[in-house]
């Protein structure tokens, strides 16, 4: 078990570094072949559909994000054709995670099934989101407290959190990289005429919609997602980009502690079966301190961090002062446009260059769309 | 028909209505389109109408403008002995109110008109069949409850509330087990005119061997009668002429024919003991006001029984009122339990709606069920026990209940607890 985890985590780091061509990695890490192939297929499918747009997107994306990471700097000089198989430098989606969730895609809406803890987590996270958003408005309709708000639910899965937010009056866009999840979510909301209008689902990753939805959302919700992404820094940046100034980011995730390993992985997955095996990877858990520092460095001011505790006997969640297992965080994007603090000061001038390039490219991108 | 109410709790219209606009469709007739209703209440009686109103909000104001009576004291005594129990509040505040059934119905109907933008009432319609959703499914089956009406139209709803009485069609269609038995009794109800106008703020009930007879104040000159007795006797009472009926009522309250010396002396013995230990309160038996005549055509009878549904809720279904529990009127709690159900269900639905939950979701419905089953089961059991205890004139049981009643009467905190429980 340990060996397996180590393999996948080293594999992901490996993918991130891109030190050798694709064929080399196949030989070194046979276990990753299938997942790599999966992402490759996904990628080439996308490429076939919109080649010209994609190449623009790719080059622009390439330039704007590569600045932040020392290792990615190397890719600037890496002139690969656009059929390069790994897009992991530009994506937050971990394809091995995609596979895990694919297997359970049809079980989302069974309230007593495998996703029961997520259903009951709504009792905490919906009021958390609702109450914090209500603080930002002066008045609200009693029946629909979130009406008029635009919310993005990243990693929406089967729409477990998307639907309650829609019922409370918000216009919600739910995105998830797993097609089957989106299908399940679409199907489920199709029976309710009100929700059908208020919610829109898309099978894509966050990076793909950053351009078209820059600064359009009042709130972004990433619940039980950040422990599944490859590149947390990039993920947070994307979240920040799609938020309006003053908009809120809501995250719920699992802390990286010995306790979370013992209870969250060993007990929950292997012994009690509360969480399906292989759902979580302890290395990807994020501590609130680390999350806070990433948030702050991206211009998001942290308002609340609160611990959550699950009682497996009653099936209910409770708020707790202790954040060593699960926790929820609420951060607000600053209203004044600030430059996110770059990882290396030397890159500052280049960053500004990139900004100009980005805006030019987005203009080109839009023209292409038309 | 009068309904006894200890206290109506849903007094004023609730303030911040933190819910989405609910379209509550109460079934009594009509048609609809392709809309999915949030809630459908099946059954338009006292409890059904009240639920629909509560989902729309507030009806007490209408009742206040019509006839109702607050009562201050309640005397309950035995026909076979001198034992009695008196409930009252220390400062003689109102203990509760008696409101006639048709007064409540009238108020509710008026209120339903006021909330017609949120509540659609279908008069004179009948549900023919119900279709329940599958537990969870990816198939193309609708996740809503479908109700087919007599005229062929179909209503779709997220939550069906069954308030259609003790022979509930909704409960039967859902296949929910119901524990029930019939009592060998029917209740006769009538509106009576008193011989003379009096303050009339006391509720009276006497346990006869054939069943309890109760007189409940409605106004200075009017009282409501609820007399539970054997089927044959009840049929007799309803068909006999008015003078004989009035005589029967008066003698039921006043006659000491069922007393025996043995019980009387045993009773007085305990009474002395109690007076010795606690000389403060002496409850002397009072006699209810005499009855002069009965309102023409106000005499009706209905059979009595006990019933309790094994489950109050299923996915997208909740039972309230007599559909969930049926009780003997001796404690006047039947409608009250129904109103308690409404209050609890409303509370849980409100919280669920404010959390954006699917209204038909089992999580909050089970919370409602636990809440009410705890309360109702206790009351049902107690009422059934009392009914059986007081249905006999066998000496040992009479002795038991005589001493029991006298002892309970002496213990004020216990009486206060009883009043509090009945007022919930």
Is the pLDDT higher at A342 or at B280?
B280
Task: Specify the pLDDT at position B68.
Answer: 62
Average pLDDT for A214-241: 91
- Answer whether residue B2 shows pLDDT above 50: no
- Answer whether residue B30 shows pLDDT above 80: no
User: Of A290-294, B39-43, B352-356, which range is least confident?
Assistant: B39-43
Query: CA–CA distance from B381 to each of A303, A367, B228, B374, B388 (Å)?
Result: 53, 77, 18, 11, 11
Average pLDDT along chain B: 79
Any known ligand binding at A90?
no
Which residues contact residue B52 at a Cβ distance below 8 angstroms, ignoring those fewer than 6 apart? B24, B26, B41, B44, B108, B112, B119, B121
Put simply, whether B33 touches A (Cβ < 8 Å) is no
- Answer whether residue A285 shows pLDDT above 60: yes
Q: Which residue has the tokens 């709606």?
A: B353
A-contacting residues in B 145-164 (Cβ below 8 Å): none
- Answer whether residue A103 shows pLDDT above 70: yes
Report which secondary-structure segment, H or E, holds B113: helix B101-114
Picking from A110, A165, A188, the nearest residue to B356 by CB comes out as A165
Average pLDDT for B252-268: 79
- Answer whether residue A37 shows pLDDT above 50: no
At A136, is the pLDDT very low, low, confident or very high (cuts 50, 70, 90)? confident
Task: Specify the pLDDT at position A221.
Answer: 96
B138·A106 Cβ contact <8 A: yes
ipTM of the complex: 0.73
Average pLDDT for A278-285: 87
- Answer whether residue A277 shows pLDDT above 90: no
Bridge partner list, B74 = B87, B203
How far is the C-alpha of B420 from the C-alpha of A368, rounded, in Å? Answer: 74
Which residues contact residue B310 at a Cβ distance below 8 angstroms, ignoring those fewer than 6 apart? B176, B177, B178, B179
At B86, is the pLDDT very low, low, confident or very high (cuts 50, 70, 90)? confident
A145·B21 Cβ contact <8 A: no
CB-based burial of residue A79 (10 Å sphere; 0-12 exposed, 13-18 middle, 19+ buried)? exposed
Task: Specify the pLDDT at position A111.
Answer: 83
Task: Find the Cα–Cα–Cα–Cα dihedral A222, A223, A229, A233, rounded to 10°.
Answer: 40
Q: Decide: pTM greater than 0.95.
A: no
Any known ligand binding at A292?
no
Cα of A126 to nearest chain B Cα, Å: 6
B355·A111 Cβ contact <8 A: no
Task: Specify the pLDDT at position B60.
Answer: 53
CA atoms within 13 A on the CB side of A331: 26
Task: Specify the pLDDT at position A24.
Answer: 39
- Answer whether residue A315 shows pLDDT above 70: yes
Task: Find the Cα–Cα–Cα–Cα dihedral A275, A190, A162, A314, rounded to 10°.
Answer: -40
B154-162 vs B36-42, strand pairing mode = parallel
Put simply, whether A231 touches B (Cβ < 8 Å) is no
Picking from B20, B138, B358, the nearest residue to A187 by CB comes out as B138
Does residue A59 belong to any structural domain of this protein? Answer: no
At B136, is the pLDDT very low, low, confident or very high (cuts 50, 70, 90)? low
How far is the C-alpha of B133 from the C-alpha of B149, rounded, in Å? Answer: 17
Does residue A152 belong to any structural domain of this protein? Answer: yes
pLDDT in tens, A337-361: 555 544 444 444 544 544 554 445 5
Nearest CA in chain B to A110: B136
How far is the C-alpha of B147 from the C-alpha of B156, rounded, in Å? Answer: 6
Q: Which residues on B lie below 8 Å from A167 (Cβ)?
A: 20, 353, 356-358
Put simply, whether B362 touches A (Cβ < 8 Å) is yes
How far is the C-alpha of A275 from the C-alpha of A297, rounded, in Å? Answer: 33
Average pLDDT for B107-121: 79
Q: Which residues on A lie below 8 Å from B21 (Cβ)?
A: 143
Cα of A169 to nearest chain B Cα, Å: 9
How far is the C-alpha of A318 from the C-alpha of B112, rounded, in Å? Answer: 39
Cα of B240 to nearest chain A Cα, Å: 56
Task: Specify the pLDDT at position B402.
Answer: 83
Any known ligand binding at A143?
no
Total Cβ atoms within 10 A of residue A262: 12
Task: Specify the pLDDT at position B40.
Answer: 84
DSSP H helices, chain A, are: 2-17, 22-28, 33-49, 51-66, 70-76, 95-103, 116-134, 162-167, 179-189, 193-198, 206-210, 232-242, 258-259, 288-297, 348-369
Query: CA–CA distance from A102 to each of A306, B137, B208 (Å)?
Result: 30, 17, 71
Burial B57-75 (b: 16+ CB within 10 A, else e): bbbbebbeeeebbebbebb
CATH number for A263: 3.40.50.150
Q: Are A292 and A208 in contact (CB under 8 A)?
A: no
Three-state SS at B95: coil
pLDDT in tens, B217-258: 888 888 889 999 999 999 999 988 889 999 999 988 888 777
Q: Which residues on A lie below 8 Å from B354 (Cβ)?
A: 130, 145
The structure tokens listed for B108 are 């509710």
User: Looking at the 3D structure of chain A, how many domains does it have?
Assistant: 1
Query: CA–CA distance from B209 to each of B77, B80, B212, B387 (Å)?
Result: 12, 8, 8, 10
At A41, is the pLDDT very low, low, confident or very high (cuts 50, 70, 90)? very low
Domain that holds residue A140: 95-333
Average pLDDT for A312-322: 92
Is the pLDDT higher at B91 or at A365?
B91
Q: Which residues on A lie below 8 Å from B34 (Cβ)?
A: 193
Task: Specify the pLDDT at position A168.
Answer: 93
């Amino acid at each position: 078990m340990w060996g397996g985890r180590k393999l996948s985590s080293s594999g992901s780091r490996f993918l991130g570094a891109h030190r050798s061509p694709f064929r080399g990695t196949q030989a070194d890490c046979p276990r990753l072949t299938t997942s790599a192939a999966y992402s490759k297929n996904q990628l080439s499918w996308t490429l076939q559909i919109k080649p010209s747009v994609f190449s623009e997107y790719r080059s622009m994306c390439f330039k704007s994000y590569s600045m932040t990471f020392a290792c990615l700097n190397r890719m600037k000089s890496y002139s690969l054709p656009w059929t390069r198989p790994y897009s992991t430098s530009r994506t937050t989606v971990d394809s091995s995670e995609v596979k895990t969730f694919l297997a359970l895609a049809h079980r989302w809406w069974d309230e007593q099934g495998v996703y029961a803890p997520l259903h009951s987590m709504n009792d905490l996270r919906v009021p958390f989101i609702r109450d914090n958003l209500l603080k930002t408005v002066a008045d609200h309709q009693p029946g629909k407290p979130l009406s008029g708000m635009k919310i993005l639910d990243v990693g929406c899965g089967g729409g477990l959190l998307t639907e309650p937010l829609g019922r409370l009056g918000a216009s919600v866009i739910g995105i998830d990289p797993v097609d089957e999840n989106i299908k399940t979510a679409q199907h489920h909301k199709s029976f309710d005429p009100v929700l059908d209008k208020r919610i829109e689902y898309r099978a894509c990753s966050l990076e793909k919609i950053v351009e078209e939805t820059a600064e359009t959302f009042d709130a972004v919700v990433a619940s039980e997602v950040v422990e599944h992404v490859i590149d947390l820094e990039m993920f947070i940046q994307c979240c920040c980009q799609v938020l309006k100034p003053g908009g809120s980011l809501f995250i719920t995730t699992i802390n990286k502690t010995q306790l979370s390993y013992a209870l969250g992985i060993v007990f929950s997955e292997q012994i009690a079966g509360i969480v399906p095996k292989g759902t979580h990877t302890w290395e990807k858990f994020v501590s609130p301190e680390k999350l806070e520092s990433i948030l702050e460095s991206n211009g998001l001011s942290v308002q609340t961090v609160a611990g959550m505790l699950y009682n497996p006997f009653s099936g209910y969640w409770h708020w707790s002062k202790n954040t060593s297992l699960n926790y929820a965080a609420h951060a607000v994007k600053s209203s004044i446009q600030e430059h996110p603090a770059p990882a290396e000061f030397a890159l500052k001038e280049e960053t500004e260059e990139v900004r100009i390039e980005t805006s030019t490219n987005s203009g080109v991108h839009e023209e292409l769309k038309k | 028909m009068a309904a006894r109410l200890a206290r109506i709790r849903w007094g004023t219209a609730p303030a911040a209505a933190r819910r989405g606009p609910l379209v509550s469709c109460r079934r009594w007739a009509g048609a609809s389109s392709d809309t999915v209703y949030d809630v459908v209440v099946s059954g338009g009686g006292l409890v059904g109408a009240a639920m629909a109103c509560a989902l729309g909000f507030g009806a007490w104001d209408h009742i206040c403008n019509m006839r109702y009576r607050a009562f201050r004291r309640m005397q309950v005594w035995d026909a076979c002995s001198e034992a009695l129990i008196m409930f009252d509040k220390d400062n003689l505040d109102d203990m509760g109110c008696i409101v006639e059934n048709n007064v409540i119905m009238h108020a509710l109907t008026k209120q339903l008109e006021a909330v017609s933008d949120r509540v659609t009432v279908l008069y004179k319609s009948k549900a023919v069949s119900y279709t329940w959703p599958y537990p969870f499914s990816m198939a193309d089956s609708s996740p809503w409850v479908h109700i087919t009406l007599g005229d062929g139209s179909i209503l779709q709803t997220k939550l069906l509330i069954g308030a259609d009485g003790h022979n509930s069609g909704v409960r039967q269609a859902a296949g929910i087990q119901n524990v029930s038995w019939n009592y060998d009794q029917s209740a006769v109800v009538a509106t009576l005119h008193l011989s003379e106008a009096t303050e009339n703020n006391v509720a009276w009930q006497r346990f006869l061997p054939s069943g309890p007879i109760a007189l409940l104040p409605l106004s200075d000159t009017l009282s409501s009668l609820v007399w539970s007795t054997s089927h044959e006797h009840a049929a007799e009472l309803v068909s006999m002429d008015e003078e004989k009926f009035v005589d029967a009522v008066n003698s039921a309250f006043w006659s000491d024919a069922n007393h025996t010396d043995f019980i009387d002396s045993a009773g007085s013995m305990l009474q002395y003991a109690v007076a010795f230990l606690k000389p403060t309160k002496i409850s002397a038996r009072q006699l209810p006001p005499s009855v002069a005549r009965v309102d023409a055509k106000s005499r009706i009878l209905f059979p009595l029984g006990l019933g309790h549904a094994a489950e109050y809720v299923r996915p997208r279904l909740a039972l309230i009122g007599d559909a969930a529990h049926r009780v003997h009127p001796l404690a006047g709690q039947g409608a009250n339990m129904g109103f308690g159900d409404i209050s609890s269900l409303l509370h849980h639905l409100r919280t669920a709606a404010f959390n954006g939950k699917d209204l038909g979701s089992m999580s909050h419905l089970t919370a409602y069920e636990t809440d009410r089953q705890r309360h109702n089961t206790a009351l049902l059991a107690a009422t059934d026990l009392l009914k059986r205890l007081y249905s006999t004139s066998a000496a040992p049981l009479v002795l038991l209940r005589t001493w029991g009643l006298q002892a309970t009467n002496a213990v004020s905190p216990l009486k206060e607890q009883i009043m509090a429980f009945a007022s919930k």
